[in-house]
A and B are shown apart, each in its own frame.
Chain A
Amino acid sequence: MARIVVDPLTRIEGHLRVEAQVEGGVISDAWSSGTMFRGLELVVRNRDPREAWYWLQRICSVCTVVHALASVRAVEDALEIEVPDNARLVRNLIASAQLVQDHVVHFYHLQALDWVDVASALKADPVKTAQIANSLSDWAKSGSSHFRAVQTTVRTLVESGQLSVFANGYWGHPAYRLPPEVNLLAVSHYLDALEFQRDYIRIHAALGGKNPHLQTFLVGGMSTAMDPDSPQAPLNPERLQLLRTLIEMGRQFVRQVYIPDVLAVAGFYPDWFSRGEGVGNFLSYGDFPDKSMHDPSAFFFPAGVVRKRDISAVQPFSPEKVTEYVARSWYEYGDNKPARHPFEGETKPTYTGPTPPYDYLNVDQKYSWLKAPRYENEVMELGPLARFVVAYAAGKQPAKGLVDSVLAQIKQPATVLFSTLGRIAARALEAQLVADKMPDWLHELEDNLGRRELTMHNGARWDPDSWPSSCRGFGWHEAPRGSLGHWVEIENGSIRNYQVIAPTTWNGGPRDAMGQHGPYEAALIKHPIADPDKPLELLRTIHSFDPCLACAVQVVDARGRRWQQVEAT
């Protein structure tokens, strides 16, 4: 029996530690711990709610934008502001570009090295790699001379004796199964994706001034005024043409590189379609409005709950059923209640872990800066897979059709979705779904520009003198990693209280008062570990969730009063 510790668990956002018990070469139990705390929600109290988005966007930047969007929506909900149609479209385009770029970066730069052996690419025949590449897609950079150049780059690196970011990887691990030619193909696309992520995200510069940390959000709309006749307008015909070009670049990369690579890699690891299944309950708040945020029937991603892998039934999502436990988290609740609704949330950070430097956490006590969110006291998985499961169960198109066509292509039943590879595949399919939807939103924006329907901001409630003396709101967003919720309470023109629950809080949280494992913890159990010194298998499943720890560690602090219930669906 051995205790594995992976800390830092790299190629994620933030600071994650996983400890796992291994018996007979198999994980028998696991503990997921967030090891960093900042407390930004306490910092925004007493400030102007119109600038909360600017502060809280800094919760995370791997998924930049998402907290800004959830924050302005929360304040708009509190102040009963409807944003103009053009602002809805610009926000949809910003959020969808974030999702597509983030999913690509996740696959190539955060996840791929768990499946791709860089060192093995040296043994590849570039001509055969080109043959494989051409059989998979029409991607232009697929000639043998290109792959030979990539191989030379890798060889130069290895022969230098300085492997840079590839130093000390698990190269040669028996769990790597791709042939050298496919490894070379993947390394080539790893480099292509580095260029892609930089170029594609210019969509954010055009619509947000810069990336990371966009700067065009306003409570009530966006600052990107548009005018078809003014070259100085932030949005004008030239900018929309730039967006069109970049959006097409995204569609092409997803279809010609990302999707074929995921399917090709998956083909060599079929056993990972039946491993890492996790808790089997799925939750989505829904998002990407075709109309208002108050019309969930017009969401591109539907809201809902699916339990126990039963895709024959989807239940409505009710935000009042969300609670958070701190039984195993480094916080205290004043009245010893085991769980609180986020509206009644309270957080007193109370670190009781070991004094650094330490070797092991006290996993039988409190062991994480993440709380443990629950839905009707049940553990839920969030993210691209959850969104697909909810959409599939709801019969929502085009998501259901896309899943069915891929399942037919790989000749597998829908149950393969509930797995490590299922999560990875769902993320790729979602990138395609969203990349293909973006031209529609851009087209609507172009139509409005042509018709001189130019309103980008609703300023009726900009002046705090127009606000009620107290109000509260709930804003949310389906971020790349799953459902994100912001709750704000405004009193006399400034923030009285602010709370955030991020998707990784759900997925990466610790046990609760009932002893239920969090989704990461549950998904790791029964994993084979070939070499406890190199727990590659553990990384595969944790990475399949796309952890984002800076988002997940949040402070909530309220005054113990029950807020009025807010309906999200």
Chain B
Amino acid sequence: MATVLGLPVGAAAQVAATLEKKRRPVLVWLELQDCAGNSESMLRSSHPSITELVLSFFSWEYHETIMAAAGKQANGVLDRVVHEEAGKYLAVVEGSIPTTNPGYCTIGGRSALDIARLVCGNAAAVIAVGSCAFDGGPQRSAPNPTGAISVGEAVPNLNLVNMGGCPHNPANTAALLVYWLTYGRMPALDAHKRPLFAYGHIVHDQCERRANYDAGRFVERWDDDGARRGYCLYKMGCKGPHGTFNCPVVRWNDGTSWPVESGHGCAACASYRFWDTALPLYQRLPGVPGFGVDITAGKIGGWMTAGVATGLALHGIASAARAQMRPRGEAPRGGPTEIGRGSGLVEREGPPEKS
């Protein structure tokens, strides 16, 4: 054991004497086609802190960005966990998985897909953190140069929880980890395998600027008086009526702020394939009914979800939508029945065509 852990020789007896003690659950964190944004986000965790998570709650054995071991010693840690802790450890995955050529992402000479199959396939549960692991991320958007796909697609039939967002919010993932430690199971999930506690509500419904939307007070252009008074950002392209996430409640960085509080619209970054379904960033969401307290954003969000499903099913509609999507100007306004069309909330094969 002392040799495996790389401890000095004298520590062997100590280790042997304490092996009987209760072991902490082992966690490994894979980084595949990633930007390390979800690793960095995890380091910002407040309750529990990253120190508590890594040193007290888990044995956080493999995580390339922060682990002491390198090269063959790092690979040795991962192989030990897969073989000795099979079926017991948690695997967290950050980043997408390329499929058109295994050479697009290799670690220790092994392909990302092989590593994901090995490590996720032997885990008790897998947590996909961030947009890339959840749905393929920005590199999956047209022309998807590497054939990037999500963890759930690359390795089917996992005990999987998706923590969407770009990046994931560490407050949610920390809560998920503690939930798993406390109850020995994962919390209730939605259709995209995301925990309801974090992804069960529309951003717009929880937004502190919602009263301005209901009253018809909007930012009309950047830096105008409305922007200084915290008016609603819907007309500046805010995707809050589309996004499901708890940003307005837990906020970011110890509750300091979130994008809307800092004056920029929400990008619906926790939504499935938001890169293709919620952007362009500054295009006003079309088809949202006129303001008024009698029409809730929850209803709007429901319509939009239906729009996504319809669009995914009917590529003809996707083409029609693409024809209507213009890189500038207003998309057509319409009632709820037209939300699937022209909303941008349908699967697109590529970025907006040039007008």
Residues of A whose CB lies within 8 Å of any CB of B are 5-15, 35-40, 42-43, 45-48, 50-51, 54-55, 58-62, 64, 105, 109-110, 113, 118-119, 153, 157-172, 191, 194-195, 197-199, 201-202, 204-213, 215-216, 218, 220-227, 230, 232-234, 242, 330, 349, 351, 353-359, 454-457, 459, 462-465, 492-494, 533-535, 539, 550, 555
Contacts and interface: CB of A to CB of B under 8 A. Distances in A.
A63 to B, nearest CB: 9
Given A46-B352, A550-B35, A223 B77 contact: no
Given A213-B166, A357-B109, 8 more contacts: A47-B327, A167-B5, A168-B73, A171-B6, A198-B253, A357-B111, A358-B109, A494-B351
Nearest to B46: A198
Contact-residue bracket for chain B: 35 or more
Contact of A164 (B14, B39, B61, B275): B61
A165 B35 contact: no
Contact of B328 (A9, A64, A351, A464): A464
Given A8-B108, A211-B44, A349-B145, A225 B355 contact: no
Contacts of B4: 168
A37 B55 contact: no
Contact of B14 (A62, A158, A533): A158
**Residue of B5, B35, B148, B258 most packed against chain A (CB within 10 A):** B35
Describe A's contact surface by its main secondary structure: loop
Given A10-B69, A167-B67, A167-B68, A212 B37 contact: yes
A555 B230 contact: no
**5 A-B pairs with least C-beta separation:** A232-B230, A61-B37, A39-B145, A169-B68, A210-B252
**Residue of A36, A39, A492 most packed against chain B (CB within 10 A):** A36
A103 to B, nearest CB: 15
Given A194-B49, A224-B263, A211 B252 contact: yes
A7 B262 contact: no
A42 B143 contact: yes
Interface string B313-330: 000000000000001100
Contact of A62 (B40, B146, B263): B40
A358 B106 CA distance: 10
A48 B68 contact: no
B16 to A, nearest CB: 8
Contacts of B75: 8
Contact of A11 (B38, B61, B66): B66
Given A159-B14, A197-B43, A555-B145, A172 B327 contact: no
Nearest to A41: B145
Nearest to B226: A225
Contact of A209 (B60, B66, B261): B261
B228 A225 contact: yes
Given A9-B70, A221-B222, A357 B114 contact: yes
A386 B15 CA distance: 46
Contacts of A14: 31, 34, 36
**Residue of B104, B144, B148 most packed against chain A (CB within 10 A):** B104
A198 B227 contact: no
B21 A160 contact: yes
Contacts of A534: 73
B340 interface: no
A15 B7 contact: no
B281 A225 contact: no
Interface in B77-129: 77, 98, 101-111, 114
Given A160-B24, A167-B5, A64 B105 contact: no
B23 A162 contact: yes
A221 B9 CA distance: 59
Contacts of B328: 48, 463-465, 493
Contact of B354 (A233, A457, A492): A492
B191 to A, nearest CB: 25
Contacts of A213: 37, 166-167
Contacts of B104: 36-38, 349, 351
B69 A493 contact: no
B249 interface: no
A215 B223 contact: no
B135 to A, nearest CB: 13
A11 B65 CA distance: 4
Given A54-B267, A58-B137, A494-B327, A171 B46 contact: no
A153 B261 CA distance: 39
A82 to B, nearest CB: 14
A13 B65 contact: yes
5 contacts: A8-B70, A14-B36, A165-B63, A357-B114, A493-B354
A165 B26 CA distance: 11
A113 B350 contact: no
Contacts of B261: 209, 234
Interface in B41-78: 41, 43-46, 49-51, 54-55, 58-61, 63-77
A109 B98 CA distance: 29
Interface string B287-311: 0000000000000000000000000
Contact of B70 (A6, A161, A191, A220): A6
A493 B329 CA distance: 11
Contact of B77 (A50, A167, A170, A359): A167
B232 to A, nearest CB: 11
B37 A356 contact: no
**Residue of A38, A105, A199, A351 most packed against chain B (CB within 10 A):** A38
B1 interface: yes
Interface string B329-355: 000000000000000000000111111
Contacts of B67: 10-11, 165-167
B1 A161 contact: yes
Contacts of B77: 167-168
B264 A216 contact: yes
B182 interface: no
B141 A43 contact: yes
A58 B26 contact: no
Contact of B69 (A43, A168, A456): A168
Given A162-B24, A494-B327, A43 B263 contact: no
Contact of A198 (B23, B45, B54, B61): B45
B253 A201 contact: yes
Contacts of B35: 13, 58-62, 550
B33 interface: yes
Nearest to B143: A42
B151 interface: no
Nearest to B223: A457
Contact of B55 (A157, A463, A492): A157
Nearest to B26: A162
B157 interface: no
Contacts of B6: 163, 167-171
Interface in B259-296: 259-264, 267, 275, 279-282
Nearest to A53: B281
A465 B15 CA distance: 70
Contacts of A15: 31, 105-107
A195 B49 contact: yes
A517 to B, nearest CB: 21
Nearest to B131: A58
